[in-house]
């Protein structure tokens, strides 16, 4: 996948050598980004704009300009400029460092009997992408380390490499962690959860109603939910943070805490008067 991405994204330089490669290059880039979006929900909007402008420019070149633009000399100059651009121009980091540390936020509902049911990300359709991308640190009042599964900060990456035990994560979090809590965004999220779950928890079969709605699969980041009874009375929805560390071939839980609780009306599913 990595080398395929490098080849496809670097193929634009080859266009300077052969204009007829345009359909192949465009098809490869479009296919790559559609695959990324379907699997992860990540859409590179600015790259779409650049690609459209790129195609427009090439197609606007008439035959006279074609002979002057697509020459061996031009191709050599373009190749050299592209290779030297990383030295001359400021470059934004498009990569990250993979770590053995992960922080995940999940949603769960609680019924009147105190039973807790995990809610699958696919069940949050049409908001499944937001939950699969899992960027909910703004509801967490605790210190957290940069990144989830990965980080763009090399110093953070180096520190996490030395973490062999859950206690090491606790120490790093205490020393280098930051608080991303945003009270305004957290309150907005509370209102969304309350309205969403009070409206949809009892929509038909509680275990499948949401999953029947159309949504892209995003299989890489899918998280299944628990089966729930169709006649339960639900009293709260909670956001749980789980921190894990993968070492010695084992996935170990560092901690798990409820970071947000939203009360529901307690309407009983299956109640005909509802």
Last residue of a domain, one of 71, 88, 105: 88
d(CA 103, CA 160): 13
Does some domain include residue 200? yes
Last residue of a domain, one of 63, 88, 113: 88
pLDDT, one tens digit per residue, over 146-173 is 756 667 777 888 888 888 888 888 888 8
Same domain, 169 and 75: no
Range of the domain at 236: 97-263
Same domain, 51 and 139: no
Which of the two residues, 216 and 171, has the higher pLDDT score? 171
pLDDT, one tens digit per residue, over 75-116 is 888 888 888 887 877 766 666 777 888 888 989 999 888 999
Last residue of a domain, one of 88, 116, 134: 88
- How many structural domains compose the chain? 2
* The model scores a pTM over 0.75: no
Does some domain include residue 272? no
Does some domain include residue 110? yes
Mean pLDDT, residues 179-189: 93
In the predicted structure, residue 266 carries a pLDDT above the cut 70: no
What was the pLDDT predicted at 75?
A: 80
Does some domain include residue 7? yes
Q: According to the per-residue pLDDT averaged within each range, which of 56-70, 180-194, 218-232 is highest?
A: 180-194
């Amino acid at each position: 996948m990595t080398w395929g991405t490098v080849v496809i994204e670097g193929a634009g330089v080859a266009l300077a050598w052969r204009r007829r490669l345009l359909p192949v290059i465009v098809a490869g880039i479009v296919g790559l980004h559609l695959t990324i979006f379907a699997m992860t929900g990540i859409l590179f909007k600015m790259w779409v704009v650049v690609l459209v402008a790129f195609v427009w420019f090439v197609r606007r070149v008439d035959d006279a300009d074609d002979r002057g633009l697509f020459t061996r000399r031009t191709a050599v100059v373009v190749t050299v400029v592209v290779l030297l651009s990383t030295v001359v121009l400021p470059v934004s980091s498009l990569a990250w460092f993979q770590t053995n540390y992960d922080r995940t936020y999940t949603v769960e509902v609680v019924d009147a009997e105190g039973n807790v049911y995990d809610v699958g990300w696919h069940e949050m359709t049409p908001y499944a992408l937001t939950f699969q991308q899992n960027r909910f640190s703004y509801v967490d009042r605790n210190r957290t380390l940069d990144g989830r599964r990965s980080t763009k900060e090399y110093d953070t990456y180096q520190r996490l490499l030395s973490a062999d035990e859950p206690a090491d994560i606790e120490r790093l979090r205490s020393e280098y962690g930051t608080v991303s809590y945003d009270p305004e965004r957290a309150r907005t999220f509370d209102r969304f959860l309350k309205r969403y779950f009070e409206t949809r928890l009892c929509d038909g079969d509680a275990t499948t109603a949401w999953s029947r709605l159309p949504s892209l699969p995003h299989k890489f980041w899918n998280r299944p939910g628990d089966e729930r009874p169709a006649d339960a009375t639900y009293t709260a929805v909670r956001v749980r943070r789980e921190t894990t560390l993968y070492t010695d071939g084992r996935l170990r839980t560092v901690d798990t805490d409820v970071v947000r609780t939203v009360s529901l009306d307690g309407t009983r599913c299956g109640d005909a008067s509802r």
